[in-house]
Each structure stands twice: as structure tokens, then as C-alpha cells.
A and B are shown apart, each in its own frame.
Chain A
Amino acid sequence: MASDKGDPGQKSQKFWENFMKTLFFISALTSVIAVFLICIFLFAGGIPAMFKIGLFEFIFGRKWAPNDVPPLFGILPMIMGSIYITGGAIAVGVPTGILTAAYMARLCPQNLYRVLKPAVGVLAGIPSIVYGFFGMVVIVPLVSQVFSANGNTILSASILLGIMILPTVIGISETAIRAVPESYYEGSLALGASNEWSIFFVILPAAKSGILAAVILGVGRAIGETMAVIMVAGGQPRLPNSILDGVRTLTANIVTEMPYAADLHREALIATGVVLFVFILIINLLVALLKRGGN
């Protein structure tokens, strides 16, 4: 044959095969290296501050006053701020999202689906800075008018984030609802149940682990959101008394104060990032467990 084993073309081909395979492998490791580096730098940058401040005082401290003498670095107000706003966003976004998903997957006519599906895509694509601006010029004045108070509140942020998590909740719930075997639905119809009844009491319960994953990912999105929240939530680092109070979230704390923070103050902000990161890791873990349970 023309090309035998020893020929140079064959050898250089072998070389390239191995070279590219190694290159592909190294590329595959990038994500591992990235996660590793993020953990190292975040923890190394933030954890010392936690211990200097005192872990308990840091996480459960009720007062954040970096300019006081001595400074106080309690991030409980921010933790609660993130939790309140996320809770509010869930209250606004999850029912709407799941119902929309149910409508899209089961009830809506084909023509309407062709409009709704891209609409959800558009919502997913809008940058958070644009959402934030929209919140600032529409939602905040509206809340301010209705309740005749300052509009930069938990409520405003919850409504805005509720809208922002819609595409996440809708997308994943829709997939989960569509994955329910048709036989469940048919079985229910065969017993004389109506179409809607079957959807609510047979299909949605059957899709519950997927829908739960959608909700948890929505929580992840809401808790990590930064720019939009800063623009509508007011930003006061204090424990709120009502949903018409302004608050500051963990994410907002970092962005707001980073420009003028130094030394321990700066480290405390990075430590705020660590707390946020841990929240996100827990959420990821929950989703992973849910997926494993689903399979």
C-alpha cells in the first residue's frame, strides 16, 4: 500500500492526534481550574476577615457601620434583606411562572405558543441593568404612589425580581410538565376528570420535582441578582420592619461600598461575597440532589 507504517505523514498524523487530544483535555479542565481558583481567592480574601470580626458577630451582627469607631461589621441585615427580597420574588414570580408554564405546555393553542415562547426568551435576554432601570422609572414611582411612601422598598424589588425569575421558572417547569407521561393524563381523563382538573391534580403533582428545581434555580437567580436590586431596593443596611422599608442585599453591599472600602472593610465586603457564594453552593447542591432523585 502507498502509505506504510513508517512513513512521515503517518507519524505527523499520530503526533497531531495526540497533541489535539491533550489540548481538548486541558480545555475540559478549564472549568475545574476556574472553580478551584474562584474558591481559593474568595475564601482566602474573605475568611480571615470573618475571624477578625468574629464569625458570630459577622453573620449575626445586627449593625453594619464600617465608619464607626470601632467599626461594626454585622451582615445580618443584608442576609435578611436578600432573604426577604428573594421570598418576595418567589411569591410574585413562582405562581405566575408555573401557571404560565402549565398554560404553555398543556392548554395554549399552537399559534399562541409561537408568540409566548419567544416572549419568554425575550424576558430571559433583557440585561439586568435594563430591568433595574425599568424598576426605577416604573415600579418605584408606582409603589410610591399607591402607598404614598418612598418607593425604594422590598416590595418594589420583589416585584421586579419576580419578573426577572419568570423565564427561569417558566422554562424549567415547562420542560418538567412536558416530561410527564401522556398516559397519566389520559388515565385521568378516562376517569371522567376534566382537562383542567387533570392538569392541576395529576400532571402538576407528577412534575413536582422538576418544578421544585425550577423554583430553586429561581431562588438562585434572585439571590445573586445585583444591579437591578441596587436600583430599586433602597440600600439601607438595616433590619426592615415592613415590606415598604428599603433594604440592602448581600450583592448590593459589595457593589455599593467597594469603591471606597479599604483594609478590613474591603475584606468584610469580600467576606460578604463568601456568604453569598455559600448560599449559591447550597442551592446548586439542592438542585443536584433533586436531579439525582428525579432519575
Chain B
Amino acid sequence: MKPIKKPLGHFLALITKAAAATTFLVMAFLILYILINGLPHLTPSLFEFKYTTKNVSMFPALVSTIIMTALSLIIAVPLGAFAGIYLVEYAKKGNRTVKVVRVTAEALSGIPSIVYGLFGMMFFVTYLKWGNSILAGAFTLSIMVLPLIMRTTEEALKSVPDSYREGSFGLGAGRLHTIFKVVLPSAVPGILAGVILSIGRIIGETAALIYTAGTVTEMPQNVFSSARTLSVHMWALTGESLHKNESYAAGVVLLILVVGINSFSAFIAKKFIKEGK
């Protein structure tokens, strides 16, 4: 029998290691680069209540981001969670409606954010005459994160053992009671992980918001005010070459927020899996 060439094996091992190292180093470099260059520019003036062209405060953008996130979640979480409940707890296997829902949800998750932005601009801003507003932005984003929440809810519900449902039905409890008292409480951590992931996407989103929520620098008055989130703020700053330092600072805040939020979600999901066992 022909012996397998050793050098080839070494080479193959080497390139996988090199690739993994590249991936890791790129991640580390990117994060450190933004942090090191950005942290020194996080000055108190950047968090002044009112934006002026002089202080370039990101405070109104932060407030808008919070409002935008909250509003998007208020719309998307019940819809996505309820949809997930329907798919797992009610729909019969092989049901045609369910197939259509799954296919469309998958299609939604593949649509680029700029297409959401275009749709939001044509539908919410123009057709429904909401104008550039937080409301239009939030509705656009809620459609964007809907498939994510649906999918995580579905997975969380599926991981609840059927014996809980049987136990509850066996006592004569109705379907609704079973869902809300036994199934959902066990699924909450999984659903929460999906919601937190959605928060990360909402905070990091730019393209879907520029033409739906707009780029106004002021503190928003109500949901019909146009406003910029932190990501859009950063985008606007990079367009003006004068504000590189402020861009770095905005980048640091975004990075810390989003990476922190995503890690938190991963943590919850992990804990959930452990407890499930």
C-alpha cells in the first residue's frame, strides 16, 4: 500500500490554522483599532443634551436609538412570538399555510436592508404619509427583525419537552393555559436571546433608516419626528471629513453596545441550553 504523503498533511493542517488565525486576528485588530483610536475622543461634550455643529453631540442620536429600538420591538416581538407560537403549537404538520409562512419568513431574512429602506420610504413615508419619522423607521426595522424573532421563538418552543404539554393537557387544562403557564415560561430565555439579537441588529442598522427615519440631528419630540440613530449619525459624520474623531467615538459606542448585546444574547442562550439539559 502506498503511504500517505506526510508533507501534504502538514501543509493542510497549516493552512487551516492560518485561516483560523487570520479570522481571529482580523476580529481582534478591528475591535482594538476602533477602541484605541476612539476611546480618547469620547469627550463629555459628545454627550451634551443639544446637538450643535460645534459639539457634534451624539446624545440626541443615542436617545433616538433607544426610542427606535423600543418601538421596533414593541411591534415586532408580539408579532414574531405569536407567529412562532402558531407555527409550533397550533399548525398541523404539512399544512400549506405554514409552508407559505416559512418560505416568506425565509425570504424576508434574505432581503438586504437597503431594499427594506426603499420599501419603507415608499410605503410608510410616502404612501401612508408618515413622512420621515421614527415611526416609519421602526415599522421598517420591525419587518426586518420579524423573521429573526419568529425563528428563535419557534426553536425555543420546539425545545420545550412534549411531556410538559401532555402533562398539562392530561389535567384538562386548555391549549391557551398550557401555552402561557407551562410552555412559554420554559421558552422565555430562548425567545429573549432572539430579542436581544434583534436589538443588536436594530442598533447597527443604517441603510434601512436613512430614507425612512431621516438624518435630523435634533432630539425627537414624538414618534412622528424625524431622527437619526447612532449608526446613521456615524454615517453622516463620516461623510464630513472634518469629523473623523467624532466618527471614531461613535464607532466605539456602537461597537461596545452591539458586541455587548450580542454577547449577552449568546450568554443567555448558552445558559438556557445548560438548564434544558
Contact = CB atoms under 8 A, between A and B. Distances in A.
Direct A–B contact in the complex, CB atoms closer than 8 angstroms: yes
A103 B3 CA distance: 24
B27 A119 contact: yes
Interface string B1-32: 10110101110110111111011101110110
Interface stretch (B56-64, B66-74, B107-115, B183-191): B107-115
B207 interface: yes
18 contacts: A13-B176, A17-B174, A27-B83, A107-B16, A118-B263, A119-B23, A127-B204, A129-B234, A134-B30, A137-B37, A163-B26, A196-B12, A196-B16, A225-B112, A258-B121, A258-B210, A258-B211, A288-B106
A238 to B, nearest CB: 21
Contacts of A194: 4, 6, 9
A61 interface: no
A75 to B, nearest CB: 15
Contact of B258 (A30, A125, A136): A125
B219 interface: no
- Grouping DSSP codes into helix (H, G, I), strand (E, B) and loop, the A interface class, with mixed when no group exceeds half, is helix
Interface residues of B, number: 93
A23 interface: yes
Interface of A: 13, 16-17, 20-21, 23-25, 27-32, 34-35, 37-38, 41-42, 45, 95-100, 102-104, 107-108, 115-116, 118-134, 136-138, 163, 166, 170, 192-197, 199-200, 217, 220, 223-227, 231, 251, 254-255, 258, 270, 273, 276-277, 280-281, 283-284, 287-288
Interface of B: 1, 3-4, 6, 8-10, 12-13, 15-20, 22-24, 26-28, 30-31, 33-34, 37, 78-83, 85-87, 89-91, 97-98, 100-101, 103-108, 110-119, 121-123, 127, 143, 146-147, 150, 174-176, 200, 203-207, 210-211, 231, 234-235, 238, 244, 247-248, 251, 254-255, 258-259, 261-263, 266
Nearest to B247: A133
The winner among A29, A37, A122, A225 for most chain B CB atoms within 10 A is A122
B262 A25 contact: no
